Chain A
Amino acid sequence: MQLSMALANAADSGGSDEQLMLDYAAGDSGAFEQLYLKHKGPLYRYFVRQIGDRPLAEDLYQETWSRVIKAAAGYQPQAKFTTWLYRIAHNLLVDHVRAVKPVDLFTEVQTDNDSPDIGADEGEPGVSLEEEQKAGLLKECVSLLPQVQKEAFLLNCETGFPARVIAEIVGVSLEASKSRIRYAYQSLKECVASKWEASRE
Chain B
Amino acid sequence: MNNKRSEQDMQEIHHLYLVQAKEEPPKSVDAEILALARKRSVPQATTQASKKSGRSPWIWSSAASVLLIVGLSLYWPELQKPAIDGPAMPEPVLMRSPEPMGATEQEALADMPAPSVQKKLRVSSEPGMMKSAEPAADNAMLEIQGMRKQAIMDNTELVQALQRLSTLVEQGKLADARVEYQALAETMARLPKEDPRRVRYEDLGKLLNQ
Contact = CB atoms under 8 A, between A and B. Distances in A.
Contacts of B20: 116, 132, 135-136, 138-139
Interface in B1-30: 6, 9-10, 12-21, 23-26, 29-30
Contact of A70 (B25, B32, B40): B40
B12 A189 contact: yes
Contact of B41 (A29, A36, A127): A29
Contacts of A28: 41
Interface string B31-52: 0111011101110110110000
A69 B17 contact: no
A32 interface: yes
A103 to B, nearest CB: 28
Given A27-B42, A61-B29, A142 B17 contact: yes
Given A44-B23, A189-B12, A36 B29 contact: no
B26 A40 contact: no
A87 interface: no
Main secondary structure of the interface of B (DSSP, over half): helix
Given A69-B40, A72-B44, A73-B44, A138 B34 contact: no
Given A29-B38, A186-B9, A188-B13, A157 B21 contact: yes
A41 B25 CA distance: 7
A33 B37 contact: yes
A189 B13 contact: yes
What class of interface size applies to chain B in its complex with A?
A: 20 to 34
B25 A29 contact: no
A189 B34 CA distance: 39
A72 B44 CA distance: 9
Contact of B24 (A44, A116, A136, A138): A44
A116 B13 CA distance: 16
Interface string A59-85: 001100110011011000000000000
A192 B13 contact: yes
Contacts of A134: 16
A45 interface: yes
Nearest to B40: A69
Contacts of B36: 65-66, 69
Contacts of B17: 135, 138, 142, 157
A158 B21 contact: yes
Nearest to A132: B19
Given A27-B45, A44-B24, A65-B33, A135 B40 contact: no
A131 B24 contact: no
A127 B45 contact: no
A112 interface: no
Interface of A: 24-29, 32-33, 36, 40-41, 44-45, 48, 58, 61-62, 65-66, 69-70, 72-73, 116, 124, 127, 131-132, 134-136, 138-139, 142, 157-158, 182, 185-186, 188-189, 192
Q: Would you list the 5 A-B pairs with minimal beta carbon distance, nearest first?
A: A27-B45, A135-B19, A135-B20, A29-B41, A32-B37
Given A40-B25, A58-B29, 8 more contacts: A26-B45, A27-B44, A41-B24, A62-B32, A62-B33, A72-B40, A135-B17, A157-B18
